[in-house]
Amino acid sequence: MSDSRDTLTQADRPEVPADPPLRRNVGFQLLWLGSVPAFLGREIAGLVYPLVVLAITGSPGWAGAFGSVQLFAMLLCGMPAGALADRYDQRKLLLLVELIRSVATTGVAVAYFADRLTLAHLMLVAVVIGAVQPVGGSSRMLLIRSLVPGRQLTQALTQEEVRSEAAAMAGPPLGGFLYGVAHGLPFVVAAAGFGVAAACTFFVRPPARAADRAAGGPQRPPQDELPLLRRMLTGLHVLWSSPLLRSGMLFAAAMNVVGAPIILVVVVQLRDQGVSSGVLGLATIGMGVGGLAGSLLVKPLHQRLAPGVLLLAVGAVEAVLIALLGLEHGPWWVAGLLFLMGLNGPSVRVLVDILIFRQVPDEQRGRAVAACMTVFGAGSSLGVFAGGQLLQFLSPTAVALALAAFEAAVVLVALTSGPLRKAVWPEDMPE
């Protein structure tokens, strides 16, 4: 009788309708389509800004300062960006960010063609684009979560990785080509890309419940009434209070410390070997190509490995690959190693995004994402600074070995982290 009642109860339950395929999710696909030219424009501008600063000042120091100012503004605004994304409509915030990027980049193009572009103008632009980046990143991630069902989130984030890696691969050579045609032309193309992203974002319509919550109506959670500083630090507190999220965040940040200066090490190494700038550029594309190919590995790796095991395995493999960079076998050896390193990136980034999305409450997600971006950015900044200082006194081979040793030590320490080793995927992961 018990079995019959159980069978009857299960049969009487209404069937939950299956989610439509992600390709038919108009909101997400429109958001993704608009982001393609925006991300490409960002990569193009990222290559050309230092070149223009160098052309105006003749100083490599000022060219490096542009990136430092941009990164500092990004880190400074990281925590407030999360509070904004949690409290206000993420679609409107993202739309505003794309418009600001478009206007700022257009201003650079106009000033350049009018022969009135100055270093002060460029540094102001560095502050602006650095400040809006975490706002756009946090808003975009939350908007994706409101548009995509939980079981399709891995697929959606993988599609995001394909776009990012393709832009990283195509942007620099395209930027170099456009710069060769006319120094102001890359900024025109980048500004147009941001404009297209703004137009597509304008027509995205998230579910009403997500938009209402993001807009901050009468359902506003109690923590939104806290003082601004406490709201800003909520995301960091949430991540730190979870042993799993704390371990994962610190491990990924340590990987950023090691990964951020790798391209700098490679550039110095190949330059010392007398490799031409053209061949050097082709060699460094290897990481972008690897990242694009690595997007195909996200689903199988996530299905076969637990999240903590995957993080530790990627760290161990990366330590070995970085050590092999110390063997000076020419640009194609470097390109092959960078390709293998790039294969790991998409799986790790999607993994971190998934864990945050699943573990953190809806009303705190924006601040958690912003906190993660800030910690990761700090790791990258520290890595670039440390790598540059080491290269002043050591050979690229010695620096590569030092970075590999540091990553190996991080992996060994992480092996003692029970929460990280025992982490499992959320129950609503796709099969």
Strands (E), 261-351: none
pTM of the model: 0.67
Domain assignment present for residue 339? The answer is: yes
282/137: higher pLDDT: 137
Mind listing the pLDDT tens digit for each residue in 383-423?
877 877 787 788 889 989 999 999 999 999 888 877 777 77
- Are 103 and 173 in the same domain? yes
Distance CA 214, CA 92 (A): 10
- Are 419 and 294 in the same domain? yes
Q: pLDDT band for position 211 (50/70/90)?
A: very low
Chain position carrying tokens 């979870």: 242
Mean pLDDT across 246-275 = 81
Res 212: pLDDT: 46
Res 64: pLDDT: 62
Q: Are 309 and 421 in contact (CB under 8 A)?
A: yes
- Are 94 and 234 in the same domain? no
- Are 196 and 313 in the same domain? no
| φ/ψ bin of 115: left (φ > 0), alpha (ψ from -120 to 50), beta (otherwise) | left
- Are 346 and 378 in the same domain? yes
Query: Which residues lie closer than 8 Å to 73 by C-beta, 6 or more apart?
Result: 126, 127, 128, 130, 131
Residue 160 is classified by DSSP as H
Q: Is the dihedral of CA 135, 139, 142, 145 positive or negative?
A: negative
Distance CA 337, CA 194 (A): 33
Mind listing the pLDDT tens digit for each residue in 332-360?
898 899 899 888 888 877 777 776 666 77
Distance CA 366, CA 142 (A): 7
Distance CA 264, CA 41 (A): 22
Domain assignment present for residue 9? The answer is: no
Strands (E), 133-289: none
Domain assignment present for residue 379? The answer is: yes
Res 430: pLDDT: 47
For the chain, how big is the Rg over CA atoms in Å? 23
CA distances 27 to 138, 280, 380, Å, are 18, 40, 32
Domain assignment present for residue 179? The answer is: yes
Q: pLDDT band for position 17 (50/70/90)?
A: low
Q: What is the full DSSP assignment across 94-124?
A: HHHHHHHHHHHHHHHHHHHHTT---HHHHHH
Query: Which residues lie closer than 8 Å to 122 by C-beta, 6 or more apart?
Result: 49, 52, 53, 56, 66, 108
- Of residues 355, 334, 129, the one with CA closest to residue 248: 355
13/171: higher pLDDT: 171
Q: Is the dihedral of CA 84, 90, 96, 97 positive or negative?
A: positive
* Overall domain count for the chain: 2
- Are 171 and 245 in the same domain? no
Q: Are 70 and 126 in contact (CB under 8 A)?
A: yes
Domain assignment present for residue 278? The answer is: yes
Distance CA 234, CA 241 (A): 10
Residue type, 8: L
Residue type, 421: R
Res 335: pLDDT: 87
- Are 95 and 237 in the same domain? no
Report residue 225 CA to chain centroid gap: 30
Answer with the one of 216, 238, 257 that is the final residue of a domain: 216
- Asked whether residue 120 carries a pLDDT value surpassing 80, the answer given is yes
Q: Are 82 and 138 in contact (CB under 8 A)?
A: yes
Mean pLDDT across 126-151 = 87
- Are 182 and 286 in the same domain? no
Note every long-range contact of 160-164, with CB atoms under 8 Å and residues 24 or more positions apart, other chains counting. 160/32, 160/35, 161/291, 161/294, 161/295, 161/298, 161/345, 161/346, 161/349, 161/350, 162/292, 162/295, 163/32, 163/35, 163/36, 163/39, 164/39, 164/291
Domain assignment present for residue 410? The answer is: yes
Q: Are 83 and 179 in contact (CB under 8 A)?
A: no
Domain range for 265 is 224-431
Distance CA 162, CA 115 (A): 38
Written as six digits, the tokens of 332 are 């194609």
Answer with the one of 168, 198, 216 that is the final residue of a domain: 216
Domain assignment present for residue 355? The answer is: yes
- Asked whether residue 362 carries a pLDDT value surpassing 80, the answer given is no
Q: CATH number of the domain at 90, please.
A: 1.20.1250.20
Mean pLDDT across 163-180 = 80
Distance CA 84, CA 366 (A): 8
- Are 286 and 196 in the same domain? no
Answer with the one of 177, 198, 216 that is the final residue of a domain: 216
- Of residues 372, 402, 375, the one with CA closest to residue 389: 402
Mind listing the pLDDT tens digit for each residue in 52-102?
887 888 765 676 677 778 878 887 787 777 778 777 888 999 999 999 999
Half-sphere exposure of 357 (CA within 13 A, CB side): 28
Written as six digits, the tokens of 128 are 């602006």
- Are 401 and 277 in the same domain? yes
- SS3 for 57? helix
- Are 404 and 431 in the same domain? yes
Written as six digits, the tokens of 364 are 């705190």
- Are 119 and 263 in the same domain? no
